[in-house]
Amino acid sequence: MNLTLKIWRQKDSNDTGKMVSYNVTDISDHMSFLEMLDVLNEQLVNSGDAPVAFDHDCREGICGMCSLQINGEAHGPDRGVTTCQLHMRMFKDGDTITIEPFRAKAFPVIKDLVVDRSAFDRIQQAGGYISVNTSGNTQDANSIPIPKADADEAMDAATCIGCGACVATCKNASAMLFVGAKVSQYALLPQGRVEAKERVMNMVNQMDKEGFGNCTNTGACEVECPKGISLTTIARMNREYLSASVTKD
């Protein structure tokens, strides 16, 4: 198929940036979306132009490095996939595809389609951990039984890949699905209860400091999340936060 691509080009963080149109031809519907961009880049390199910079790594939907707002949707039109798992069979010959970086104040553009998501790291550093040193003398893994339902629910929350699609999709650029997922994982496990109060307070405070917006329960994040993280994680975080606010000394 032949396609017209409208792509955001921005030299660096100081550049104002603009949309630029490109044509690509003979795109196979077996290609992944990123392989289609590889074709474009090969074309650009061969004509001496700078290729389009975009983030990607594992190309199997787990590292969370790829992003892109495709025709206005985070990770494009398909559901339950990252951009690297999106296939060209979702498009048809003659389509015009608009490709932008993830949009949020807390995710500044570095170049073209590459954004800086280090705010996510800083939120995790504020409390996304259990304070246990490595020693080799930790108690036996089976010494605290955990109900299977809790372990499974913690796992569902823990599958978040930190891609930022929730933020890019949210009209408020809220990171609450991301933070809710981490808070939920630990809140559901006995090991995580010990520091639960400090954790939720610190992570939420850091989230606010980074400039992410608030949640207004539209649920767009849940729809676009490639890993199907549930809105209930936000509810749990809110409960944890409220409970920590009123009981913390």
Partner 1 sequence: MSKLDSKIPGGPIKDKWTTYKDKINLVNPANKRHIDVIVVGTGLAGGSASATLAELGYNVKAFCYQDSPRRAHSIAAQGGINAAKNYQGDGDSNYRLFYDTVKGGDYRSREANVHRLAEVSGNIIDQCVAQGVPFAREYGGLLDNRSFGGVLVSRTFYAKGQTGQQLLLGAYSAMNRQIARGKIEMFNRHEMLDVVIVDGKARGIIARNLVTGEIERHSAHAVVIASGGYGNVYFLSTNAMGSNVTAAWKAHKRGAFFANPCYTQIHPTCIPRSGDYQSKLTLMSESLRNDGRIWVPKKKEDVEAIRSGKLKPTDLKEEDRDYYLERRYPAFGNLVPRDVASRAAKERCDAGFGVNKTGEAVYLDFQSAIERYGAEQAKIQNIENASHAKIVELGEKVVEAKYGNLFQMYEKIVDENPYKTPMMIYPATHYTMGGVWVDYNLMTTIPGCYAIGEANFSDHGANRLGASALMQGLADGYFVLPYTIGHYLADDIRTGKISTDSPEFEEAEKNVTDRINQLVNNNGTKSVDYFHKRLGKVMWDKVGMSRNETGLKEAIEEIRSIRDEFWKDVRVPGAADGMNTELEKAGRVADFLELGELFAKDALNRNESCGGHFREESVELDGEQKGEAKRDDVNYAYVAAWEYTGDPKDAVLHKEQLEFNDIELKQRSYK
Binders of partner 1 in range 121-180 (CB under 8 A):
121, 124-126, 128-136, 138-142, 145-148, 151-152, 154-155, 158-159, 161-162
Assess 213 for contact with partner 1 (CB under 8 A): no
CB 123 within 8 A of CB 207: yes
Give the Cα separation of 210 and 217 in Å (integer): 20
Assess 208 for contact with partner 1 (CB under 8 A): no
Which residue type, as a one-letter code, is found at position 202? Answer: N
Q: Which is nearer to partner 1, 134 or 217 (CB)?
A: 134
For partner 1, the binding residues in 33-52 under the rule CB under 8 A are 34-35, 38-39, 42, 44-46, 48-51
Token output for 127: 């409390």
Pick the stretch among 17-25, 62-70, 94-102, 216-224 that binds partner 1 (CB under 8 A).
Answer: 62-70
Give the Cα separation of 200 and 239 in Å (integer): 10
> Which of 1, 24, 63, 244 touches partner 1 by CB under 8 A?
63
Assess 11 for contact with partner 1 (CB under 8 A): yes
Contacts of 29-33 spanning 24+ positions with Cβ under 8 A = 29/1, 29/87, 29/88, 29/89, 29/91, 30/87, 30/88, 30/89, 31/87, 31/88, 32/59, 32/84, 32/85, 32/86, 32/87, 32/88, 33/68, 33/70, 33/76, 33/83, 33/84, 33/86, 33/87, 33/88
Assess 181 for contact with partner 1 (CB under 8 A): no
Pick the stretch among 94-102, 107-115, 212-220, 235-243 that binds partner 1 (CB under 8 A).
Answer: 107-115
Q: Which is nearer to partner 1, 174 or 206 (CB)?
A: 206
Assess 76 for contact with partner 1 (CB under 8 A): no
Q: How many CB atoms lie within 10 A of CB 192?
A: 18
Q: How many CB atoms lie within 10 A of CB 47?
A: 7
Assess 244 for contact with partner 1 (CB under 8 A): no
Q: Which is nearer to partner 1, 159 or 172 (CB)?
A: 159
Assess 65 for contact with partner 1 (CB under 8 A): yes
Give the Cα separation of 66 and 216 in Å (integer): 26
Q: Which is nearer to partner 1, 32 or 174 (CB)?
A: 32
Token output for 189: 């496990």
> Which of 1, 6, 24, 59 touches partner 1 by CB under 8 A?
59
> Which of 20, 89, 105, 208 touches partner 1 by CB under 8 A?
89
